[in-house]
Structure 1
Amino acid sequence: MRRIAILFVLLALSVSPGSSAIAQSIVVDPPTYDFGDMMQEETRTFTATIRNDGGGLLIISDVVPDCGCTIPEMKVKEILPGESAPLEIQFNSKNFTGTVIKAIKIHSNDPMSSVANLVLTANIHSLLDITPDRRVAFLRSLQGESESQVVNFTAMEGHDLEIKADRTMQQFFQVEARNHVDGNPSRAELVVTRPADMEPGNHHDIVRVETNVKGMPTVDLDINAQVFSPIEVMPRRVSFRFQPQFQVNLRLKPFHDQDAFKILSVTTDLSELTIGKTITIPNGAYAIPITGSPIGADDPRAIHTKGRIQGSITIKTDLKAMPEIIVPVTYMVRM
């Protein structure tokens, strides 16, 4: 009798509402889909089926693509047992080339598989071969020296190619478009030049290149430059803000190790600053200690500037490429 009771309990548990045997179960059909051969900037659509093979109500809580190139849309989010709902997918090949693999994660209340995957693949052919790939970088460039880089464009399948670009968006760089390179009507190049007078620092710009290629009328290229002065100064600007006491070390180092230089003088137009003795450190570098304290709130300068004090430190050197260095200095006075 006891054995019969135990068997009855086990049978009841096996068919209870919480049992995974009759719970909702998500099936993605097909689990993978290949868009096949595509051209860049081409859009294609595909509809997958989300099916509930379980016994409970399947609820889709979210559908998340791993790329902005893929847009999924699922209007029906609650699926009864044995029924299905469409998952519409729009895929844009953008600027990809070669084999591309993307995934869509489907979140649901399936107790055995709360996240299901739909994998998308495509083999994308370029309308234009662009080398380097849409990026131009001038790394560790020296102020006072001009540099140029060439971006090569080649039309696929031997089509005639024409490109045009007159300026960059920020006009930080100079550009020149050249067509029919080496007499080849399928080839063009864009010459990007960093001007010699570009200020030290990091600079970013974009150039929009117009083309006669159907399906790719414009191409945007990112341009970056990291420019250094002949003498690197750290920090380039000094801001003491509301500090009650000032202390900073200006460090100077030649961009090229062979360009040794001497510091001839260091002055400031802020009388509250004290310039310490210049310290020579390895690799032809120098450190200049700066100390001081802010002026009072009753000082005429503080009253006139409403507490915003500005000045500079001037460093004279014997390096012809950079005989003078001006370091801006700012701080605030509590009024």
Structure 2
Amino acid sequence: MHRQIKTVILALCAALLVAASLLAAGKPKATVAEPVSDVGTVPKGEKIVHDFLIKNEGDADLQITNVQPACGCTVADFDKVIKPGATGKVHAVVDSSTFNGPISKGVSVFTNDPDHPQIELTVHAKIEPYISVKPGYARYITVQGEPQEGNIVQTLWAPDGTSWDITGADSPYPYLAVTYREATPEERLPEAKGKQWKVEMKLSNNAKVGPLADYVTVHTNHPKQKVVQIPVSGFVRPVIAVTPPTADFGNIELKEPLKRSLDIRNFATEPIKVTGIDSSLPKGIDAKLEPINEGREYQVRVVVNPGLPKGPFTGKLTIHTDSPKVPTLEVEFKGIVI
């Protein structure tokens, strides 16, 4: 009995010692005097820079373990350790180039403060363009090699009538030419006052095939807005395309014939006829050309037969057309029979 009482007393003493050591070690306490900051009106294109101040009112080191900014916001740096009684900062930057009107951007701060493991910081602002743009965007859907080039003209002006000039313009692509000039009297928008400028954006017919998603950057000497960004979007299509561009069968088990199809589509204005196909495909893979809409759309029916040996296989299908622009198309075949 005495032994049991002694064991209990020793356990209680040990617990008290642990608690005392924890109390002696103390704990951090994170406080933010201004977790929400309203920076007012910001010219579109300018960066919003703000330092959030975090004070450690505890009696142990405050550690900022991670910072996660919301979309459109970045955190350039932050103080990872804040001593007791000291104040650290989280340096946040918001790029206003892609925003309009009122915005609210947040930053999540994670700490070792047991009472405040996550702190939310917010920047409010109103993004106001001092330079208006019409139409304000450029969207292209073109076909590579077509004779007509895509040409879109923008009109820029300052709604408050401020006198200003365009000092430069940057294109995001080598095949998108951007020029600018002051609007002639005949080109002026009647509803817009003050100096007006024309920015011409011409997409070459030899533009790279693929998506367009970037910005033309216009530089100005306007006292309140030095940069105007005009979004560019769209797609440059090939003259003729095969979907999928590669016949990748992956791992296949051939208990019965496996059927696939390749779609061939002509995007050019003139009809293009697919005249035939030939291949270096392994024995056991059959391919047959079928017209869907002569001159515009075709399919290649592919059958992988059970007789194909096990193991990896490769091959190539060549599609022939009557177009000097794209006389042949090649499709790689690959897979593994298991």
Q: What is the CA distance between 1:114 and its match in structure 2?
A: 0.7
Which residue of the partner structure matches residue 173 of structure 2? 170
Which residue of the partner structure matches residue 189 of structure 1? 198
Write out per-residue CA displacement over residues 244-296 of structure 1, whole angstroms, 9 at most, x where no aligned residue. Answer: xxx9744224559xx9968462154869899844324589742224689xxxx
Q: What is the CA distance between 1:99 and its match in structure 2?
A: 2.0
Give the counterpart letter for 1:111 in structure 2. Answer: P
Q: What is the CA distance between 1:24 and its match in structure 2?
A: 4.0
Query: 1:324–1:92: structure 2 CA closer, same or farther, 3 Å change rule?
Result: closer
Q: What CA distance in whole angstroms lies between the structure 2 residues aligned with 1:250 and 1:47? A: 56
Q: What CA distance in whole angstroms lies between the structure 2 residues aligned with 1:271 and 1:331? A: 8
Q: Name which of 259, 271, 290 aligns with 1:279.
A: 290
Query: 1:331–1:120: structure 2 CA closer, same or farther, 3 Å change rule?
Result: closer
Query: 1:327–1:236: structure 2 CA closer, same or farther, 3 Å change rule?
Result: farther
Q: Name which of 15, 32, 35 aligns with 2:39.
A: 35
Write out per-residue CA displacement over residues 18-63 of structure 1, whole angstroms, 9 at most, x where no aligned residue. Answer: 68xx8543222123222223334255555534242x5x52522335
The correspondence of residues 235-314 of structure 1 with structure 2, limited to 5 A, is 235-236=244-245, 249-253=261-265, 255=267, 263=273, 265-268=275-278, 276-281=287-292, 285-289=297-301, 312-314=318-320
Query: 1:153–1:254: structure 2 CA closer, same or farther, 3 Å change rule?
Result: same
Q: What is the CA distance between 1:226 and its match in structure 2?
A: 1.3
Checking the alignment, whether the CA contact within 8 Å between 2:164 and 2:221 is kept in structure 1 is yes
Q: What is the CA distance between 1:109 and its match in structure 2?
A: 1.9
Query: 1:201–1:23: structure 2 CA closer, same or farther, 3 Å change rule?
Result: closer
Query: 1:264–1:107: structure 2 CA closer, same or farther, 3 Å change rule?
Result: closer
Q: What SS is found at the alignment partner of 1:57?
A: coil
Q: What is the CA distance between 1:327 and its match in structure 2?
A: 0.2
Q: What CA distance in whole angstroms lies between the structure 1 residues aligned with 2:278 and 2:167? A: 50
Which residue of the partner structure matches residue 102 of structure 1? 105
Query: 1:89–1:287: structure 2 CA closer, same or farther, 3 Å change rule?
Result: closer
Please list every run of 5 or more consecutive structure 2 residues that lacks an aligned counterpart in the other structure: 1-11, 250-258, 305-313
The correspondence of residues 1-335 of structure 1 with structure 2, limited to 5 A, is 16=19, 24-40=28-44, 41=46, 44-46=49-51, 48-52=53-57, 56-62=59-65, 64=67, 66=69, 67-71=72-76, 73-74=78-79, 77-79=82-84, 83-87=85-89, 89=91, 91=93, 94-95=96-97, 96-131=99-134, 136-139=138-141, 141-143=142-144, 144=146, 145-163=148-166, 168-180=171-183, 181-182=187-188, 184-198=193-207, 200-203=209-212, 207-214=216-223, 216-229=225-238, 231-236=240-245, 249-253=261-265, 255=267, 263=273, 265-268=275-278, 276-281=287-292, 285-289=297-301, 312-316=318-322, 325-329=327-331
Q: What is the CA distance between 1:190 and its match in structure 2?
A: 1.9
Q: What CA distance in whole angstroms lies between the structure 2 residues aligned with 1:31 and 1:151? A: 40
Write out per-residue CA displacement over residues 107-142 of structure 1, whole angstroms, 9 at most, x where no aligned residue. Answer: 222223211122222233323234555x53324x34
Q: Using the aligned pairs only, state the percent identity.
A: 17
Checking the alignment, whether the CA contact within 8 Å between 2:73 and 2:95 is kept in structure 1 is no
Q: What SS is found at the alignment partner of 1:100?
A: strand
Checking the alignment, whether the CA contact within 8 Å between 2:61 and 2:81 is kept in structure 1 is no
Superposed CA RMSD? 4.8
Q: What CA distance in whole angstroms lies between the structure 1 residues aligned with 2:113 and 2:320? A: 70
Which residue of the partner structure matches residue 8 of structure 2? none
Q: What CA distance in whole angstroms lies between the structure 2 residues aligned with 1:44 and 1:170? A: 29
TM-score by length of 2: 0.62
Query: 1:120–1:324: structure 2 CA closer, same or farther, 3 Å change rule?
Result: closer
Give the counterpart letter for 1:182 in structure 2. Answer: R
Q: What CA distance in whole angstroms lies between the structure 2 residues aligned with 1:44 and 1:267? A: 60
Give the counterpart letter for 1:314 in structure 2. Answer: H
Q: What CA distance in whole angstroms lies between the structure 2 residues aligned with 1:74 and 1:68? A: 18
